[in-house]
A and B are shown apart, each in its own frame.
Chain A
Amino acid sequence: MIGPHRVNADPTVPSIRSSRLTRRRLLQAGAGAAALASGAASPSWATARGVPAIQGEPITLTYWHGWTEQWEEMVQFVVDQFHQQQSRIRIEPVVVPVGSQEQSSEFLAKLTAAIAAGEPPDIVTLFGSTAIPTLASQGALVPLDSLDGADLPTVEAWMDPNVYRLGRYEDHLYGLSYWAGAYALIYNKAHFAEVGLDPEVGPATVADLDAFAERLTVRSGSGDISRMGFLPSDLLLWGTVFGGNFYDPSSNEVTANDPNVVRALAWMRSYAEKYDAQKVAEFNEGLASERAANLDPLIAGKFSMQIQGPWKLGDIKKFGDPNFAYGVVRPPLADAEAQPANWTWGDIQVIPTGSKDPAAALEFVKFTAGVNDPDGYARRCTWGERPINVPVSRAVLEVPSFQQVVASHPGFDVFIDALLNGERIGSPPVMPAAAFFTDRLAAATDSVMLLQAEPGPALDDLDQSVQSELDRAR
């Protein structure tokens, strides 16, 4: 639930500017349009705003984020903690209610317009790291390593290496993640018991997963699926689990047609073949139309096993039947010999070009990542005393308040272990065409799962189109 509307009473906050239209402003607008027209071909965003504050002078920074509903309160909690820790830098959070990562293009539209107009926010949270290479290559982000007081060795030592790299692009660090996404498989113990599976033993390998799914799936007399044992959907995760790579940064080559990724997609397609692609599509459509966007098929018992993030454990506690019994296991291995694998992403704090005091902004960015503050960070990343995502640092695992949250939410430890001790951790390709790549990958996966395309050719096509987009962007 969102708290009461907050009015900023800080006298250092600039008041909303006058909206009076004067001839001078009209002329300025005309000049601005002309400048834009003449500089349209230039990729540079650099339009410095104001004069950087003198070291030590009180300053108010505007912070854009997309966290809505109860998470807006979490942001305020983080900001309040930051204010308690120091008094010089005041943070004014501004919610940009884009809702989800899928809508991040709207968030980016607002952000790029503001940067181009020379009135950017001072700090921004990007959902996911895919936009960083694009923005960084256009000069729209401040490299953190260029700032005084960055002290990157300390930051690097604090953060898990797989999470730290989410903010990197071409030898520079552009952002720090607030926390880290991780996947695990959550299963319904009652369904396991119902079909004679041991409720305490989840699938360890993909072969187990296939066999369990078959037993757990329930069809009606007409062949319609009323309960799905399991349905793979995320090729980024499964491609990594099968040992594949999507991009080779050393040669700047898209490698989505890596044989292991093809193998993963072929395995995903086997579900469409086994359970009838049409019936699977109808099952999915049925879920969507019945419950609109907020359907939770796992809690509703429509799926027996699902790949999910740690936040689902909090949802089960809050929204699920109190008797809902679940188990959590790491994503099953491709085979018994394979390395444990996972996929991570982050919500990353960056500093846009034109931020009025990047050094002060950096202080807040480092604070959100909890650098060398395990106790405070433990409270922030488990806001509401519930699992949300995995902390960015192992140091937090020793904090009693964090251990309490782990103990009260069975299965949270599996997510933490899967990410921090995983041997192969994939993350979004660090390239300017990353957003285009994820869109195309989702489209290719859909067409294969509808049996409209074969995995190999679909990924070959994807490789070509993303590579040409990448070459253009570079």
Chain B
Amino acid sequence: MKIRTSLYLMKEAFVSLKRNALMSFASISTVAVSLLVLGAFGILGLNMGYMVSALESKVEVTAYMQDSVEGDALTQAEADIRAVSGVSEVTFVTKTEALSRFRERLGDQASMLEALDDQNPLPNAFEIKVDNPELVKPTAQAIEQMAGVETVKYGSEIVDQLFQMTKILRILGLVLLGFLVFATLFIISNTIRLTVFARRKEIGIMKYVGATNAFIRLPFLMEGMILGSVGGGVAAVALYYAYSALLYEVHQVLAFLYLVPLHPFIYIIGGALVGIGMLIGAIGSAISLSRYMDV
């Protein structure tokens, strides 16, 4: 197909969009709302993932030793821990140190500790830093197997909970995605059906003068793609402003939350939305053309 022909068909698509302005507006809005929700979910999910990995990288593994391990055995244990692959730093915290830290943390309520009667229930411990956040779990598990180690903690609860939430979010997102895609497909194919109907005379004439199916269908396909990508674009712009506002607020109030920085993240999301919109538009009009256009 010649470029001039493509340009002509493109122009025809725009003319048709303008002619059915109300319907075009309705479908662009539907696409925009659907993709906005989709994009918001995407941003939420990606931020959760980001938070998980940020927290993981901060996680320290603490190995609590059995009270029976003393003296040389402790030194040996420290050496063994150092030998575990991925371990970068090991600090020994004695029972006494642990207790004084605890006392500090309790502050005003330190008097509670008097109930202990000079006994120290806290174990000796090693604080271990790991090279790579992904190694936290396997390292912790390896150390837990060692002789003399009572328990190993690595803040797994928070990380696991976040993981769990991300998983739920992902499932919820997929279900929602299904519904939204369905709704969007429906409205776009319906819009295209109306334009096919409005232009049936033209289609008939095209047929009689020998237009190929591709030639007849292309403007409608383009129309659907324009509807979809404009809807995606509207959603992308809205998300850009919403997300930058959110980042600003969060930074003001909850500075400790790790959120994905605006650039280039939001451009990728925006681009994806426009792309998805265009794809949905193309599929929507293809559905309509195969059902309502007999050529």
Query: Is chain B a partner of chain A in the same complex?
Result: no
Q: Which residues of B are in contact with A by a Cβ distance under 8 Å?
A: none
Q: Which residues of A are in contact with B by a Cβ distance under 8 Å?
A: none
